[in-house]
């Protein structure tokens, strides 16, 4: 804030295009950039000061200011700040600090020990004015559209009560970690302009019975005093697990806390103006009483973003980052299938760190590529010096890539490298996940078999090239991965000659006398023997299929290994170029 506190700015007589021309002409002394407010404060060299609106997610201002060496300050806040406000905040803080000291001095240690046992020590975070808006939440349009209706409930409850409708008391946000559940809750509070009371569910749980229930009562008491408002409980499965589960019948403190929460939810007065939002990625373990109508009336799924959603999320997180003109966020969205919003935010942050490390002015594709490698395949470790070891690793990685290209298409291969990464025995073959599978959650038997064949392709390549007696443990992780898939096909999905049976009772609770303590298998020994034979048979057939594919493409296998040994890394474009005319399907 190098000049903001000294000057006030008049409304702009200049347009956005005039601002760009003035930057190139050297007429501007400094710019104060507000990406989220979509405006700039401009100080000209002649002393004139103006406030000029800009375009959404503008990168041109950053580029031109950097190129013309114009002093630039970026502020992501939605609010205007001032020196007076800063002094006022400091004064209030000092008054509060003095008051706390006086209170502690007036309270004896004996009294605090005697009466402080049941005192609420949980961390309620109360935000009176939330800055987050739905513009800040991208990639989950369906969930955002559903939640926008809650704003009307909070602002105009009479509109619904006049028609006999009841305002929802609770909304459960369900989805994988990092998909933006907490951000959506903040956006509702920000758009509706009501206070936001946030707490983690684990804050309720204590060693002593009754403390958690007391804290639940305190939470709702504070919320009612600030009505209308939003209560947000993160990771509600900490206290919302099904009652009676666990060894010995459950946990009394957690269950009493849950009972109190159920009572508070169902005991709301009509039109209280309080809506409870809760987030979890384990809805399968929640108690049925918590999910019934009248408590958590709505369940909204917040899923991983699709291609368009990922592009919008990358756009949001690059607001204040100087991207090079050559960076195409659509391309990077296509390279990040399966990434959550948090993963994409981390990608852009790591890219900025790589850019700063190289003392570059703009984030380019190489910075993003390095950041993506770090996130997906880990940090590079010591370079392999042994030529023989490099050759073995190269055949493993190229073998997996060729089988993947045959089974899922050439575009399924993103990168091949023999540079060792943390957690791997050698190199790494990065494959692009299937967008349809991630969005639908459905996976076919054919796709599972192809995954097994790809995983075993490294062992197949070693066997073909070096012989049965010269194979190494380089494929240990892939063999373990393939075995787990085969076992699930046979015992869970019914994808084998055994038939449509499920041996794994997923999601069952552990009660005394069953589950953990069950000694006898529910299936006959003959069935277990057939299952073992089927797992072994599918694995061996898949290995032979991989070997057949690689024998048909032996020329391409050797060719790509030579290229990989020379370059150490083959990217998607290079692989497609070298493979297109020689791949035998």
CA 140 – CA 187 distance, rounded (Å): 13
**E-state strands within 117-212:** 125-127, 170-174, 196-200
Q: Tell me the percentage of the chain whose pLDDT exceeds 70.
A: 81
pLDDT for residue 306 is more than 90: no
Q: Running DSSP on this structure, what letter comes out for residue 201?
A: G
Strands 274-280 and 196-200: unpaired
Two structure tokens written together for 579: 């493979």
Report which of 362, 359, 369 is spatially closest to residue 322, judged by C-alpha positions.
Answer: 362
User: Residue 510: what pLDDT?
Assistant: 41
302, 173 contact by CB (below 8 A): yes
Residues 422-427: what's their mean pLDDT? 65
Query: How buried is residue 49: exposed, middle or buried, by Cβ count under 10 Å (0-12/13-18/19+)?
Result: middle
Q: 197: which 2 tokens?
A: 């009371």
Domains of the chain: 10-74 (3.30.720.210), 118-301 (3.40.50.300), 307-376 (1.10.8.60), 387-579 (1.20.58.760)
The question of whether 397 is a catalytic residue gets the answer yes
With b for 16 or more beta-carbon neighbours within 10 A and e for fewer, the 61-75 pattern comes to bbbbbeeeebebebb
Task: Compute the mean pLDDT over every residue in the chain, rounded to the nearest whole number.
Answer: 79
3-class secondary-structure state, position 172: strand
pTM of the entire predicted model: 0.72
Residue 85 banded pLDDT, cuts 50, 70, 90: low
In what side-by-side order are the strands of the sheet with 49-53? 10-11, 49-53, 39-44, 28-34, 71-74
Cα–Cα distance for residue pair 255/261, rounded to 1 Å: 10
- Pairwise pLDDT comparison (126 vs 66), residue with the higher score: 66
User: Residue 447: its pLDDT value, please?
Assistant: 92
For residues 327 and 338, is the Cβ–Cβ distance under 8 A? no
Query: For residue 228, is the peptide bond before it cis, meaning its omega torsion is within 30 degrees of 0?
Result: yes
- Joined together, the tokens standing for residue 243 give 């009652």
Task: Give dist(CA 258, CA 9) in Å, integer.
Answer: 54
Least Cα distance to 336 among 301, 305, 297 occurs for 305
Q: How many CB atoms lie within 10 A of CB 239?
A: 26
Lowest mean pLDDT among 293-297, 371-375, 383-387: 383-387
Find out whether 398 and 564 touch, Cβ atoms under 8 Å. Answer: yes
Residue 451 pLDDT > 60, yes or no?
yes
CA angle 412, 415, 418 (to 5 degrees): 135
For 52, 433, 535, 539, the CA distances from 404, given in Å and listed in that order, are: 53, 11, 22, 17
Query: Cβ distance 384 to 390 under 8 Å?
Result: yes
**What average pLDDT does the segment 107-112 reach?**
46
**When comparing pLDDT for 155 and 470, which is higher?**
470
According to DSSP, the β-strands at 71-74 and 39-44 are unpaired
Res 5 pLDDT > 50: no
Residues 6+ apart with CB under 8 A from 287: 240, 241, 242, 243, 258
Note whether 556 and 579 are within 8 A (CB): yes
Give the pLDDT confidence score for residue 381 in this predicted structure.
65
When pLDDT is cut at 50, 70 and 90, the band that residue 109 belongs to is: very low
Instruction: Give the torsion sign (CA, 419, 424, 429, 433).
Output: negative
Euclidean distance between CA atoms 83 and 89, whole angstroms: 10
Predicted local confidence at residue 405, as pLDDT: 94
Angstrom distance (rounded) from CA 322 to CA 59? 6
pLDDT tier at 4, thresholds 50, 70, 90: very low
Query: Which stretch of DSSP H or E encloses residue 72?
Result: strand 71-74
Q: Which of 13-17, 106-110, 474-478 has the weakest average pLDDT?
A: 106-110
How far apart are the C-alpha atoms of 75 and 52, rounded to whole Å? 15
The CA-based diameter of the chain, rounded to the nearest angstrom, is 91
Work out the pLDDT band at 36, boundaries 50, 70, 90.
confident
Q: Say which DSSP state 177 is in.
A: T
* Residue among 421, 410, 383, 359 at smallest CA distance from 580: 410
Q: How far apart are CA 236 and CA 279, in angstroms?
A: 6
DSSP letter (8 states) at residue 456: T
Residue 424 predicted with pLDDT over 50: yes
Which of the residues 203, 253, 397, 453 is marked catalytic?
397
Most trustworthy range by pLDDT among 17-21, 34-38, 94-98, 137-141: 17-21
Model confidence pLDDT, tens digit, residues 525-584: 788 888 899 999 999 999 999 999 999 999 999 999 999 999 989 988 999 999 988 888
Instruction: Give the residues across from 170 on adjacent strands.
Output: 276
Question: In whole angstroms, what is the distance from residue 171 CA to residue 277 CA?
Answer: 5
Using the predicted structure, report yes or no on whether residue 259 has a pLDDT greater than 90.
no
Residues 6+ apart with CB under 8 A from 48: none
Answer yes or no: is pLDDT of 190 > 60. yes
What's the CA gap between 182 and 277, in Å, rounded?
9
Of the candidates 153, 134, 141, 293, the residue with the CA atom closest to the CA atom of residue 230: 153
Residue 268 has pLDDT above 60, yes or no: no
298 backbone dihedrals φ, ψ, rounded to 5°: -125, 140
In which order are the strands placed within the sheet that holds 274-280? 125-127, 196-200, 229-234, 274-280, 170-174, 298-301
Q: Phi, psi at residue 223, to the nearest 5°?
A: -65, -40
- Quote the tokens at residue 517: 């303590």
Whether residue 484 has pLDDT greater than 70: yes
Lowest mean pLDDT among 85-94, 261-270, 293-302: 85-94
* Residue 180: pLDDT band with limits 50, 70, 90: confident
| Residue 84 pLDDT exceeds 70 | no
């Amino acid at each position: 804030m190098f000049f903001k506190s000294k000057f006030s700015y008049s409304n702009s007589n200049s347009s956005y295009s005039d601002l760009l021309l003035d930057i190139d002409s050297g007429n501007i002394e400094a710019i104060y950039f507000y990406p989220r407010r979509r405006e700039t404060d401009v100080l000209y060299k002649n002393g004139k000061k103006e406030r000029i609106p800009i375009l959404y997610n503008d990168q041109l201002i950053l580029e031109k200011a950097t190129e013309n060496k114009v002093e630039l300050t970026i502020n992501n806040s939605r609010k205007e700040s001032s020196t007076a406000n800063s002094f006022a905040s400091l004064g209030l803080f000092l008054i509060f600090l003095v008051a706390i000291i006086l209170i502690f001095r007036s309270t004896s240690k004996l009294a605090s020990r005697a009466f402080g046992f049941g005192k609420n020590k949980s961390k309620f975070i109360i935000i009176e004015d939330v800055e987050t808006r739905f513009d800040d939440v991208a990639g989950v349009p369906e969930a955002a559209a559903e939640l926008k209706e809650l704003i009307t409930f909070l602002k105009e409850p009479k509109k619904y009560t006049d028609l006999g409708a009841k305002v929802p008391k609770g909304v459960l946000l369900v989805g994988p970690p990092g998909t933006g559940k907490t951000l959506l809750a903040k956006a509702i509070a920000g758009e509706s302009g009501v206070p936001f009371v946030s707490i983690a569910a684990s804050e309720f749980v204590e060693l002593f019975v009754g403390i958690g229930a007391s804290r639940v009562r305190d939470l709702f008491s504070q919320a009612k005093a600030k009505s209308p408002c939003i209560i947000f409980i993160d990771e509600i499965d900490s206290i919302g697990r099904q009652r009676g589960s666990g060894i010995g019948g459950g946990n009394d403190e957690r269950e009493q806390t849950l009972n109190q929460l159920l009572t508070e939810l169902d005991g709301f007065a009509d039109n209280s103006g309080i809506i409870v939002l809760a987030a979890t990625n384990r809805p399968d373990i929640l108690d049925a009483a918590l999910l019934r109508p009248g408590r958590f009336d709505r369940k909204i799924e917040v899923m991983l973003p699709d291609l368009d959603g990922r592009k919008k999320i990358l756009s949001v997180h690059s607001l204040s980052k100087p991207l090079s003109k050559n960076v195409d966020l659509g391309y990077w969205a296509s390279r990040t299938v399966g990434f959550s919003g948090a993963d994409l935010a981390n990608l852009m942050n790591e890219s900025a760190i790589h850019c700063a490390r190289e003392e570059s002015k703009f984030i380019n594709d190489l910075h993003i590529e390095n950041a993506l490698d770090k996130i997906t395949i880990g940090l590079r470790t010591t370079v392999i010096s042994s030529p023989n070891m490099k050759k073995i690793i190269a055949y493993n990685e190229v073998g997996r890539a060729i089988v993947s290209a045959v089974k899922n298409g050439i575009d399924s291969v993103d990168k091949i490298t023999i540079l060792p990464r943390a957690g791997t025995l050698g190199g790494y073959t990065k494959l692009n996940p299937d967008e349809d599978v991630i969005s639908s959650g459905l996976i076919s038997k054919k796709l599972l078999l192809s995954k097994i064949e790809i995983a075993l392709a490294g062992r197949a390549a070693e066997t073909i090239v070096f012989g049965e007696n010269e194979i190494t443990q380089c494929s240990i992780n892939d063999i373990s991965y393939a075995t787990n898939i085969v076992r699930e096909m046979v015992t869970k999905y019914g994808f084998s000659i055994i038939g449509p049976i499920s041996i794994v009772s997923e999601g069952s609770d552990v009660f005394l006398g069953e589950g953990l303590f069950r000694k006898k298998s529910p299936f006959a020994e003959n069935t277990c023997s057939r299952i073992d034979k089927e797992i072994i048979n599918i694995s061996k057939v898949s290995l032979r299929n991989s070997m057949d594919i690689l024998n048909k493409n032996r020329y391409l296998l050797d060719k790509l290994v030579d290229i990989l040994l020379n370059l150490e890394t083959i990217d998607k474009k290079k692989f497609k170029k070298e493979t297109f005319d020689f791949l035998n399907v």
